[in-house]
Amino acid sequence: MLSPESALAEVLRVAQPLAPRRVPLREAAGLVLAEAVRADRDYPPFPRAMMDGYAVRLADRGRRVPVCGEVAAGQPWQQPVADGECLEIMTGACCPPGTEAVVQKEHVRREGDEVRLPEETAPGEHIAPPGSECRAGDEILPAGSVLSPLGVAAIASIGLDEVRAIPRPWLAIIVTGSELTPPGIVPGAVEIRDSNGPMLVAMAAELGLPTPRHVTVGDRVETILDALRAAASFDLVCLTGGVSVGTYDLVPEALRQYGAETLFHKVAQKPGKPLLLARNGSQILFGLSGNPLGCHWCFHRYVSAAIARMEGKPVTAAVLSGRITQPLHGKPGRARFVPGLARWQPDGWQLQPQPGVTSADIFRTAKANCYLHIPGNRPVVEAGETVEFSLFTAPCWGGSCTAAPAERE
């Protein structure tokens, strides 16, 4: 059986960055830029006052001078600053010719129409000269950078309302299981409600994906196949349930009839052993365990990695380490990923395992915020020992990316 590391490597091999397209700036935060962004003019374009105060001549330091007018932000200056006088000026206004410094309002004493200027004022104080932030044509963000809200601000400043970027993938979720009742209907005695669908929608939202298409189908090859065909235009498909070895686990057969190539099926891990990866052209498909925890782990670890890759983001696992508070006893063999509660303490991360009674148990595990990574060759971990873990919410992958999309492979 494939190891978790090999399964992840295969996911990263198969998933490829999506084709860049033009994206409205308001939707572009978190995306990878496909081309460099350059300044359209010098910034600031004029000598900008950086404080509310007075535009002054240095010769008048320590003197009382009349206030001969004012300049507000966005307002053209009416008169230059001459020796023996000053102008009131607001933050963001253009300093008129002759301004040698801006004195902060709090540092002068106003006496009627005059102000007493302080002695200690440096040349150019509180003035940002034209072009001091960037020059026309300067690269302000390189291709390959992940656009942050500050980056959005920089792009808005240069007047662009769209950028060329790698889009987020469109995700379709196909929940399978004849035992699942639709929302709003009281389940029969041996039926259950779907929890995987809402969970995957929430996990997709955490990663900033557009709202996924989400359908629930029974355990019949034809209905699963219909759902697959209806999702043919989606970049990424997550099926849950029906991927194991039971008589009614029909996802592998539906994928075969759909024309998808199965790349692996089953990974030596607990939970999430039945994980399946397939592709159909450029579409990536995951068969996730029906067991809620297996489904959660596999999205956390593998699907999120595929998404990061499709978005052109760097994919270095952010695995931390911490001390476990109580022993974990298991059997050698499969790697285990145990839900836990990580708490930051003055001496490092403290990890309290929150194992479920079974890998279907989302009630005991709903308080967890991380997975403890227990290798298959380390069945027993004693209290106080160090183990690796990954936080649910801090993305497994990501960070800022410096390589241009074309160079990233």
On whether the CB atoms of residues 31 and 18 are closer than 8 A, the answer is: no
> Which residues 6+ apart lie within 8 Å of 347 measured at CB?
none
Residue of 223, 269, 289, 365 that binds ligand AMP (CB under 6 A): 289
Does residue 241 touch ligand AMP according to CB under 6 A?
yes
Q: Which residue is nearest to ligand AMP (CB)?
A: 290
* Total site size for ligand AMP, rule CB under 6 A: 21
Does residue 223 touch ligand AMP according to CB under 6 A?
no
How far apart (Å, rounded) are the C-alpha atoms in residues 168 and 208? 8
* Helix H or strand E encompassing 388: strand 386-391
How far apart (Å, rounded) are the C-alpha atoms in residues 255 and 98? 75
Q: Which is nearer to Mg ion, 242 or 271 (CB)?
A: 242
User: DSSP code of 407?
Assistant: G
* Helix H or strand E encompassing 292: helix 292-298
Instruction: From the list ligand AMP, Mg ion, none, pick the one residue 292 interacts with, judged by a Cβ distance below 5 to 8 Å according to partner type.
Output: ligand AMP
Q: Where are the strands (E) in 205-275, listed by range?
A: 213-217, 236-240, 261-265, 269-270
Does residue 242 touch Mg ion according to CB under 5 A?
yes
Does residue 175 touch ligand AMP according to CB under 6 A?
yes
Stretch that binds ligand AMP, among 59-67, 127-135, 192-200, 367-375 (CB under 6 A): 192-200
Instruction: From the list Mg ion, ligand AMP, none, pick the one residue 269 interacts with, judged by a Cβ distance below 5 to 8 Å according to partner type.
Output: none
Does residue 195 touch ligand AMP according to CB under 6 A?
yes
Q: Which residue is nearest to Mg ion (CB)?
A: 241
Residue of 167, 241, 252, 274 that binds Mg ion (CB under 5 A): 241
Site for ligand AMP in 331-360 (CB under 6 A): 360
Residue of 291, 304, 365, 390 that binds ligand AMP (CB under 6 A): 291
For 69-103, b/e burial (b = at least 16 CB within 10 A) is bebeeeeebeeebeeebbbbbbeebbbbebbbbbb
Give the shortest CB-319-to-ligand AMP separation in angstroms.
27
Q: CA 265 → CA 219, 223, 262, 291, distances in Å?
A: 19, 21, 7, 16
CA angle 230, 235, 241 (to 5 degrees): 65
Give the shortest CB-277-to-ligand AMP separation in angstroms.
16
Torsion of CA 371, 373, 374, 377, to 10 degrees: 150
Lookup result for tokens 């790697």: 335
Give the shortest CB-245-to-Mg ion separation in angstroms.
11
> Which residues 6+ apart lie within 8 Å of 185 measured at CB?
none
State which amino acid sits at residue 400: S
Q: Which is nearer to ligand AMP, 163 or 217 (CB)?
A: 217
First and final C-alpha spacing in the chain: 27
How far apart (Å, rounded) are the C-alpha atoms in residues 173 and 110? 68
Instruction: From the list Mg ion, ligand AMP, none, pick the one residue 171 interacts with, judged by a Cβ distance below 5 to 8 Å according to partner type.
Output: none
Give the shortest CB-303-to-ligand AMP separation in angstroms.
15
How far apart (Å, rounded) are the C-alpha atoms in residues 340 and 206? 19
Q: Which is nearer to Mg ion, 251 or 370 (CB)?
A: 251
Q: Which is nearer to ligand AMP, 192 or 318 (CB)?
A: 192
Does residue 292 touch ligand AMP according to CB under 6 A?
yes
Handedness of CA 3, 8, 10, 11 (dihedral sign): positive
Handedness of CA 45, 46, 50, 52 (dihedral sign): negative
Stretch that binds ligand AMP, among 37-45, 117-125, 189-197, 382-390 (CB under 6 A): 189-197
Residue of 4, 20, 30, 177 that binds Mg ion (CB under 5 A): 177
Residue of 17, 53, 242, 405 that binds ligand AMP (CB under 6 A): 242
Instruction: From the list Mg ion, ligand AMP, none, pick the one residue 195 interacts with, judged by a Cβ distance below 5 to 8 Å according to partner type.
Output: ligand AMP
Residue of 99, 121, 145, 196 that binds ligand AMP (CB under 6 A): 196
Give the shortest CB-239-to-Mg ion separation in angstroms.
11
Residues forming beta bridges with residue 278, ordered by sequence position: 262, 285
On whether the CB atoms of residues 47 and 99 are closer than 8 A, the answer is: yes
Q: Binding pattern to Mg ion, positions 269-308, x when CB under 5 A?
A: ---------------------x------------------
Kindly list the residues in this chain that would bind ligand AMP in the complex (CB under 6 A): 175, 177, 179-180, 192, 194-197, 240-244, 246, 249, 289-292, 360
Kindly list the residues in this chain that would bind Mg ion in the complex (CB under 5 A): 177, 241-242, 290
